[in-house]
Structure 1
């Protein structure tokens, strides 16, 4: 990142401009305005920030959001480990209230992301918001909403699907201005006419060109598609046969692969703000993904073992019948 643009030695720098204010203006700019330039050779595109988001909330709000997110993460981690150890069968119905994708935590996460542009002090959602969305997606894929009947199950799954889509939309409203300002700061030069006035050699696009991640992406739609397909399996699985289970496995596998790719990409390609916080957030997500993959492997091995035992028992019973004959 070209932080030299913010150094006082830069020719266009004005003494009354603060580095922190400039950086905050770029990262929280809501609308970039292009205007005609009198120097088409050295300044073919001239932009300035026309409006910014309101000020940040108190650090108390950030700390509350941090405590809540860490609590839901730890709850997901503990329940995943219990499932791997085979000790979570007794809390199948109640565990959904502790998960990020549950009916209690998910609305609070959506509320935090909806106000995410003002949660930007000790726990900035512009940096950690993608990790929170991935936490919700992992929870939704790993744990099925338990329901006593099909109507309750469909209701819980529909609310989870709606929550993931809303969370993705609100996350984009937070990170796209952040990535746009990052692009404007790195790939531009200050014109000196105002604190946010910059000259560029190319157009400034929404989200910039340096970071390609968005919440409203193929990963989100695959996760949502997987959840929808689970509903179809629950309602019509017996009628449609094995084909519907194959499609479900393909959707789930593709979702996990894309989430891993997004997590690794964000760890290495995000703006260098709050580096340690970002590494800790996505490192925790990678650990949770690994545990969930291990859980799925354990489930598959258990199912194969049970099928093998049942077939072996059938063979033994048939041999006994033949011997008696």
Structure 2
């Protein structure tokens, strides 16, 4: 079922407008406090906005102030960061709970539970209690329980954030299979979740949607600094030149726009830090000053007042980098994605 939401909650300074076609997965990205979980709460019926409306297919979830459908009558399932399984029930009975609550017989609910246990690879511990499960196992069971209820809309609130990296990758792969053709809103702070699970993304900042569209287009051609940061890119604004662009601060970047842009017209550039070269002050084309050094896995993100660079620690040591150090940056055309502003 298609989803349409337009609502505002003044106390949290959240005002959003979102749409989602039937069978699509929408990833809602944003920093802490951006309003992502508030949006899920509105859709689930746990948070009542001050005004607005939401429809799911032909069903009106709310149309304030006149109409408000209670959570249990919305056909919406919400899965939070914590699995929140019923501790006194076995895994199988946890998953069968939704179908039983909807009127299925015991045998029907058991058959549905067995199917979702199989699809989420949790059938091996169907007779265990939640206390006997690992974090990854419990989250898989929670996903199976949510899907066994056959919701018209599935809401996922950072379902992988409490899992370690290896387990999260495993559960992410499982989600990619079970979310296919299912109308889903996924709240996450991880661009990888969006790339692997979502058809479209909406980026929230300060309670507003600042970007929305197909996943790759939004994340690879960002228009908001937070989106660029989330994607690991540096966003630069400027105007088109014959050889690329002139940034607002005068910096020249090479590149050919992905779409036609007239000379002098406003453009944006997404620059990949991993392709930016660092050198001593007299050995590069762009003079810059180091503003921060941030370890990222086995590399170091060197932030400067012009562009960021992602380099091995050995480069940091060789150049004796520190905050305030002067460096030169080299930017090949392949590092720059140029597009209309």
TM-score normalised by L of structure 1: 0.27
Between Structure 1 and Structure 2, whose CA radius of gyration is higher?
1
Q: Normalising by structure 2, report the TM-score.
A: 0.27
> Which structure would you say has the larger RCO, counting Cα contacts within 8 Å and 6 or more residues apart?
1
Q: Which has the higher helix share?
A: 1
The structure in which a higher percent of residues are strand is 2
